[in-house]
Chain A
Amino acid sequence: MVKLDAIQKRLISEIADLHSVPSGAYNFRANSQLAGRNTTANIDIVSKADGSGIEVRIKPGTKNESVHIPVVISETGIKETVYNDFYIGEDADVVIVAGCGIDNCGGQDSEHDGVHRFYVRRGAKVRYVEKHYGSGDGRGKRILNPVTECYMDEDSSMEMEMEQIKGVDSTERTTLAELKSGAKLVVKERLMTHGEQNAVSSYQVNLNGAGATADVVSRSVARDDSSQTFNARITGNAPCSGHTECDSIIMDRGRILAIPSLEANDVDAMLVHEAAIGKIAGDQLIKLMTLGLTEAEAEEQIINGFLR
């Protein structure tokens, strides 16, 4: 049974596209308390003995199952750090949906720092979706500092989609990945900052085995007086291939610092980085205006498409 109030339900629908209790395994956390949990024959969720977080254990060979672990904070002044560990058994193929929504109408800061560690065993496939969302008109800030660590065994694959489009005042995201041979990591990050928000996103991907591949792509929009830093490093320690791309639209008085970097420690490491920052192209606006959109509507369509 999941117990959530109206604000919490709204936050859940924003971060996990959930309008009712999901099928499959889940663990709902609301205002630092467990609000509901379900396990399945193949997926077990247990609280850590010290109360610092949960462990999600997925049996080898589990196919087409999902785990939802949303977190919502609707009280002002909550500060928490949660350590969640995921053990994904050999040849499993699962979807994990995480995300945090903060509604802060009060005067104190609310902060959720989620540290997620993934142990992806040989041949397992994981799709990980993480959305962050903030709302509320209080003076208290909404702060999210997620840490994601991925330890990927041979021939495993992980696809990460991370999205933070609205309402988070401050975020510092750190992602570390260690890949053995044949492992494949794809990261798709979508970020939009507005107001006076600040976002930092750092990646360190280590390609340690032959045939390991990584593709880290970030698309971001900085509006108003917000600032962003994207710092992605791919290190090739074996015959491997890696690509990182940061593509940003800058608007108003926004500031963006992009630092893609590559480190090759093997002659057969093939590494590529790309970074581009620019304002919305004038001819794109003109084209959409010739279809009858106002300049503001055209801008919105261009940004929506860009962050898709």
Chain B
Amino acid sequence: MLEIKNLSFAVDEADREKEIIHDLSLTVEDGKFIVITGPNGSGKSTLARLIMGIEKPISGQILFDGEDITALDITERAKRGISFAFQQPVRFKGIRVQDLLRLAAGKNLTISAACAYLSEVGLCARDYIDREINPSLSGGELKRIEIATLLARRTRLSVFDEPEAGIDLWSFQNLIRIFEKMRGEIKDSSIVIISHQERILKIADEIVVLADGRISRRGRPDEILPALIGKNAPKSVCEMLQ
């Protein structure tokens, strides 16, 4: 279970502190699929990065399975069972897809096991397993490999920062299928997704709407979605393509 208590985060901007997250509290119970949405600049990605430890809060606490992890670094949080999918997946020179999957799994991974993760995200394993994670891969390919690394980790908490950003329509259909599958196999782990996507919002157990670094609303999709449709967020696929 993830508990965020009175969390605040600020950045220095033009010699003054600008607060991005204000006294935010949120609990993600085990077995839950939570989607955090809200307009650009509302602090969604910052919140995701705070959970992973990439950013440090100025005040407040983060508890994971009852343990205060606020002071722990990224590595320690990862070891305790938190994983993170980047909005812009990182590129490397020389590191291959199979290397990244092996590092994610934290053990020697057989080629067939690595291939299984790639197949799950809709990539033909044979074509990708030896590819370098460099700029020769498209945004959609990188995104799917990024998700495959989270599948290989299978942690108690998975955080996805805008998984739909920068991918084509074909990849998007596939992405929805992956999340539906993850949703079905969630058991006692939990998933937090930062998203604008109506179809991702629809499969959530709970939608959390952020505005100006605060939670403005939260509830089941049938409670939240009708009010959101037609506003800035969420966007439908058609709107995205316009």
Which residues on A are within 8 Å of B, measured CB to CB?
219, 247, 281, 283-284, 286-295, 301-302, 304-308
> Least Cβ distance of B15 to chain A in Å?
24
Question: Could you tell me if A286 and B95 are in contact, using CB atoms closer than 8 angstroms?
Answer: no
Partner of A283, one of B90, B94, B96: B90
A219 to B89, CA, bound (A): 23
Tell whether, in the assembled complex, residue A290 and residue B78 are in contact, meaning their CB atoms are under 8 Å apart: yes
- Residue of B74, B78, B83, B153 with most partner-chain A CB within 10 A: B74
Could you tell me the distance in whole angstroms from the C-beta of A12 to the nearest C-beta in chain B?
26
Size range of the chain B interface in the assembly? 20 to 34
Q: How far is B164's CA from A82's CA once the two chains are assembled, in angstroms? A: 61
Cβ–Cβ contact A291 & B86, under 8 A: no
Determine the chain B residues whose CB is within 8 A of the CB of A288 once the complex forms: 103
Question: Per-position contact with A for B139-165: 1 when CB-CB < 8 Å, else 0?
Answer: 000000000010001000000000000
CB pair B92–A305 under 8 Å, yes or no, is yes
B75 to chain A: which residues have CB within 8 Å?
Answer: 289, 292-295
A305 CA to B100 CA, complexed, in Å: 10
Q: List 17 A-B contacts (CB under 8 A).
A: A281-B90, A286-B54, A286-B74, A289-B73, A290-B52, A290-B74, A290-B83, A291-B78, A291-B153, A292-B75, A292-B153, A302-B92, A302-B95, A305-B94, A305-B99, A307-B94, A308-B94
* Docked CA distance A306–B134 (Å): 11
| Shortest CB distance A115–B (Å) | 31
B74's contact among A284, A289, A305, by CB below 8 Å, is which?
Answer: A289
Residue in B closest to A307 when the chains form the complex, CB atoms: B94
Inter-chain CA distance A301–B90, complex, in Å, is 14
A294 to B153, CA, bound (A): 16
Tell me the smallest distance from the CB of A135 to a CB of chain B, in Å: 25
Contact status B84-A290, CB under 8 Å: yes
Q: With contacts A287-B89, A290-B54 known, what are 13 further pairs, Cβ within 8 A?
A: A283-B86, A284-B92, A286-B54, A289-B73, A291-B83, A291-B100, A291-B106, A291-B149, A292-B75, A301-B95, A302-B92, A305-B99, A306-B93
State which of A247, A290, A292, A305 has its C-beta within 8 Å of the C-beta of B95. A305
**Is residue B104 contacting chain A, with contact meaning CB distance below 8 A?**
yes
Closest-by-CB residue of B relative to A288 is: B103
How long is the Cα–Cα vector from A293 to B96 in the complex, in angstroms?
Answer: 17
Q: Evaluate whether A291 and B94 lie within 8 angstroms (CB atoms) in the complex, with A286-B74, A301-B99, A305-B99 already known.
A: no
Complex interface bits, B67-83 against A, C-beta within 8 A gives 1, otherwise 0: 00000011100110001
Q: How far is the CB of A246 from chain B (nearest CB, A)?
A: 13
One of A292, A302, A304 near B79 (C-beta < 8 A): A292
Alpha-carbon distance A289/B104, docked complex (angstroms): 10
Q: How far is the CA of A284 from the CA of B99 in the complex (A)?
A: 14
Residues of chain A contacted by B106 (CB below 8 angstroms) = 291-292
Contacts of B79 in A (CB 8 A): 292
